[in-house]
Amino acid sequence: MTDTSFPTDFLWGTATAAYQIEGAVTEGGRGESIWDRFSHTPGMVYQNQNGDLACDHYHRYREDIRLMKAIGLRSYRFSTAWSRIFPAGSGKINPPGLDFYQRLIDELLAAGIVPMITLYHWDLPQSLQDKGGWKNRDTVKYFTDYAGTMFDRFCDRVHLWITHNEPWVVSFLGHDSGLHAPGIQDRKSALEVSHNLLLSHAYAALLFGEYRRAASNIGITLNIAPAYPNSDSPEDEQAARYYDGYQNRWFLDPVFTGRYPEDMLEVYQKQFNAPLVEAEDLNAFQKSRIDFLGVNYYMRKLVCRPEDKGELFTELRPNYPGVQFTDMDWEVYADGLYTLLTRIQRDYDPPVIYVTENGIACSDRVDDDGQIRDEARIAYLRDHFSAAHRAMQEGVKLKGYYVWSLIDNFEWAYGVSKRFGIVYVDYKTQARTLKSSAHWYREVIGNSGF
């Protein structure tokens, strides 16, 4: 018995995403994606870095699976690159793209590691962006076709499917702040995009019904940030409710209840004077169902009443004795994970939850003896695993936990300047080295707790 013991069949894993690790962007018939275009546009990514090579995982996946085995991982979450399967986003299938994922999946299964596929982790084929991207409703249909192609080929051996990773990020960082590809700055577009993403999720989940086998599961991954009011004044509390509506309920409600939250619909309709939703869309929301919810947790939000008129809230940087920030400048707040898991179980009651991402960027360095002593990462993971464990004690149906990330990788607009891996990557040689946290994680998995 350990202090914090987890079920023996708990899915301990790590997560990655195609553009962040694969490289080989012009190999195997792969088409251009919006992240290729964005990262090659001067000024968009730190030091104008790009994912052309990234971790060269396309060529080194066997070695990476050996690392997973050495750590004792039970599951591995990765994303498939749409533009490897459909180089132009729709139309002709590219068989070498499917073959690459076939090799990866078979190698994982041979190693006894359960694959979990994310279909969309932000790398839209550029040809579809040229036709309006996620603002164009046709993209919903193309996504569903792509999803169907993947189900058809792999549903016999892959039983955990995720339609989208963090549609909030795609919508608001991609189309409102413009910090991510495709770099658009227009809030109304961001809302339209969020709707089309949710709709494409619903249609793909409906289609999944045709491929469903006994053990098949489909879900969606949302990045949920519990919102805390800065004081108990009614204005600050309203600001926190709005933040929750903007980032969390706007995505959770359609998935679980088949409709958008009333308060947010009202606000957005006033702001943009646009009916966003057609009746048939709600029908699709209502008919689709998920088998699990994926939760990515990195931070909470501290908010107060809006400083600018016309805004709904103002975000604050937490400032209290002992507050800690990661290398991303994100506050470390493990209790937020407990709060959000118990809240989701209470308010939405998903059949199963997986933490599909959680982790920390640290300024890791290799010591003279070749070791990477990332004690801060171990402390972070221990505290977050404990928070998850506490939530499970209270009835949260958490069945697995995927640490972000297996290896250091291309962190979007930050390039390779941020290290999230439990395995260190030397980008000059592509050599991989297990950090202390990977050794620690192996113990946790082996002991089903700590």
Which residues are part of the catalytic machinery? 166, 357
Cβ proximity of 84 and 117 under 8 Å: no
Among 11, 13, 14, 17, binds ligand FCB (CB under 6 A): 17
- Residue 273 corresponds to which tokens in the numbers above? 């004077």
- Residue 353 corresponds to which tokens in the numbers above? 């939850």
CB closer to ligand FCB, 172 vs 412: 412
Residue by residue, DSSP assigns 94-138 as -HHHHHHHHHHHHHHHHTT-EEEEEEESS--BHHHHHTTGGGSTH
CB closer to ligand FCB, 123 vs 145: 123
Site string for ligand FCB, 106-125 (x = CB under 6 A): --------------------
What amino acid is encoded at 368 in this protein? Answer: D
Among 61, 420, 440, 441, binds ligand FCB (CB under 6 A): 420
**From the CB of 303, what's the least distance to ligand FCB, in Å?**
19
Partners of 355 in the beta sheet? 295, 401
**From the CB of 357, what's the least distance to ligand FCB, in Å?**
6
Q: Which helix (H) or strand (E) holds 286?
A: helix 279-287
Length of the chain in terms of residues written: 450
Among 6, 82, 203, 412, binds ligand FCB (CB under 6 A): 412
Tell me: does residue 86 bind ligand FCB (CB under 6 A): no
The piece of 162-170, 305-313, 334-342, 431-439 that touches ligand FCB (CB under 6 A) is: 162-170
**Closest by CA position to 378, among listed 403, 409, 399:** 403
Report which residue's Cβ sits closest to ligand FCB: 17
- Give the separation between CA 430 and CA 450, rounded to whole angstroms: 32
Residue position matching structure tokens 């409600």 = 253
| Site for ligand FCB, residues 349 to 408, rule: CB under 6 A | 357, 404
CB closer to ligand FCB, 304 vs 425: 425
The piece of 31-39, 105-113, 161-169, 376-384 that touches ligand FCB (CB under 6 A) is: 161-169
Number of residues that bind ligand FCB (CB under 6 A): 12
Partners of 79 in the beta sheet? 118
| Site for ligand FCB, residues 178 to 237, rule: CB under 6 A | 223
The piece of 134-142, 163-171, 274-282, 331-339 that touches ligand FCB (CB under 6 A) is: 163-171
The piece of 6-14, 164-172, 229-237, 265-273 that touches ligand FCB (CB under 6 A) is: 164-172
**From the CB of 115, what's the least distance to ligand FCB, in Å?**
17
**From the CB of 50, what's the least distance to ligand FCB, in Å?**
15
Task: Give the pairing type, strands 398-404 and 114-120.
Answer: unpaired
The answer to whether the peptide bond before residue 42 is cis (omega within 30 degrees of 0) is: no
Cβ proximity of 292 and 350 under 8 Å: yes
Q: Which segments within 31-97 are labelled E, that is strand?
A: 75-79
CB closer to ligand FCB, 20 vs 75: 20
CB closer to ligand FCB, 88 vs 376: 376
**Closest by CA position to 155, among listed 203, 86, 204:** 204
The 10 Å Cβ neighbour count of residue 190 is: 23
Residue ranges binding ligand FCB (CB under 6 A)? 17, 20, 165-166, 169, 223, 296, 357, 404, 411-412, 420
